[in-house]
Structure 1
Amino acid sequence: MKFAVLVFPGSNCDIDCYKAVEDTVGESVDYVWHTATDLSAYDCIIVPGGFSYGDYLRCGAISRFAPVMAEVAKAAEQGKFILGICNGFQILTEANLLPGALRRNMSMKFRCHDTKLTVVNNETPFTREYRKNEEIIIPIAHGEGNYYCDEETLEKLKANHQIVFTYGDNPNGSIEDIAGICNEKGNVIGMMPHPERAVDTLLGSEDGKRMFTSILKSWRDTHDTASVR
């Protein structure tokens, strides 16, 4: 399996994501610059956290026009796995690959600490190694993590089981305590907490490790099935 970690001007969690893939699944992983126009070699694309383009206009509003994002959209349509973390989540909403938007935290303060999450949907390619309703510890680091959508979109998210993670103690005011969502197909996920920062007990939690092992297991199942056919 091959992973791509995108790099935008201002990304600062790309190295964390790269190391998380290396340390948890040991699969091939490359940094891919935002000007890239071909992602066909990759099976999973990680859009990392940071402050892409300085978070000017809105978080992710400029990055969504980077050449690589057209390839991310193509990969999503092909069913490849797309994981957007923090600023990556913001970029995916700006690119309309996920519904809703991320607004300023209700406190108007940057929040950086461990957070308790509930795994609402453990049937995605990213969460299959968690138990439904399991509580996990994953850190956050954001100033604009307040997830918002209109009532119609919220009902669709609930009906389609697109709410993947919720906060135990909402740190930012996001609607329905939402910490992470997926698209209807389940192959694109965005979340504000940082699983790549929770892959070893030395970091305070290794609860993020199973997100990466879930991705690998899901890919292997699909790949083995395709090989049999």
Structure 2
Amino acid sequence: MSRIGVVTFPGSLDDRDAQRAIRLSGAEPVALWHDDADLHGVDAVVLPGGFSYGDYLRCGAIARFSPAMMSIVDAANAGLPVLGICNGFQILCEAHLLPGALTRNGHLHFRNRDQWLRVEQTDTAWTNAYQPGAEILIPVKNGEGCYVADPATLEELETTGRVVFRYVRGNPNGSQHDIAGVRNAAGNVVGLMPHPEHAVEALTGPSTDGLGIFAAVLAHLGTAVPAASRDRR
């Protein structure tokens, strides 16, 4: 069984939700502490949503210097699958594992709603379970989720297929090019603002579309669990 680490920073809110999503996908969640550089041999890592270190300075700006992140940067550069969700996406950008930055929502309001996304790329460790162009419904909740980058970076992301998720049926935060998530060149590191861990069970909804992200990394690792087996967990 694959072991997927979830890092808890001071101010993390969605670490337990991410652990549950991992468990539902058929993997073993492993709690990782921000102040511990030991990744305990995990096969992949999730950086969850929340307000790491109280969002002081900038969202994710302090978390990127944590001992755990120092190890994650090295491991990601060596091929470890890493997923950043919301604040985790901000941390990945601050750590320069992903390009661009997340700034204050264009309308200057916190936005919490169910949001449609289009899956633009399915050749990553975290999206191979989807069909290209699939539209999925996933909650979004952020105040600083507006993705920005300089024109050259945006052009590179578009021309090299590194925009992984795009907002459709409305842009909740003013992100440039309607970008909801991007990947690194190798495809093992993905960040997105919406919360797939909140869309893994029909009971809590709004869909189970987010489960595919966690199932995808198991397929990437070669340890995918059949749906019938997941249902019995």
Normalised by the length of structure 2, the TM-score is: 0.93
Distance 2:141 2:216 in 1: 23
Q: Deviations over 1:1-46 (max 9, x none)?
A: 1110000000000000001101122x22111100111225011100
| SS of structure 2 residue aligned to 1:202 | coil
Mapped contact 2:125–2:217 kept (Cα < 8 A): yes
| SS of structure 1 residue aligned to 2:24 | helix
Distance 1:129 1:18 in 2: 19
Q: Which runs of 5+ in 2 are unaligned?
A: 224-233
State whether structure 2 residue 23 is matched by structure 1 residue 22: yes
Q: Deviations over 1:125-159 (max 9, x none)?
A: 21111111111101001000000000110111112
Mapped contact 1:40–1:75 kept (Cα < 8 A): no
Mapped contact 2:30–2:42 kept (Cα < 8 A): no
| SS of structure 1 residue aligned to 2:154 | helix
Distance 1:218 1:179 in 2: 22
Matched residue type, 2:68: V
Distance 2:37 2:16 in 1: 21
1:208 maps to which residue? Answer: 210
2:86 maps to which residue? Answer: 86
**CA RMSD, aligned part only?**
1.2
Where do residues 80-229 of structure 1 align in structure 2 (5 Å cutoff)?
A: 80-168=80-168, 169-203=170-204, 204-220=206-222
Of all paired residues, the percent bearing the same amino acid is 48
Alpha-carbon shift at residue 200 of structure 1 (Å):
1.1
2:63 maps to which residue? Answer: 63
**4+ residue segments displaced more than 2 Å:** none
Pick closer, same or farther for the CA change 1:215–1:22 going to 2, 3 Å. same
Q: Which runs of 5+ in 1 are unaligned?
A: 222-229
State whether structure 2 residue 75 is matched by structure 1 residue 75: yes
Alpha-carbon shift at residue 96 of structure 1 (Å):
0.6
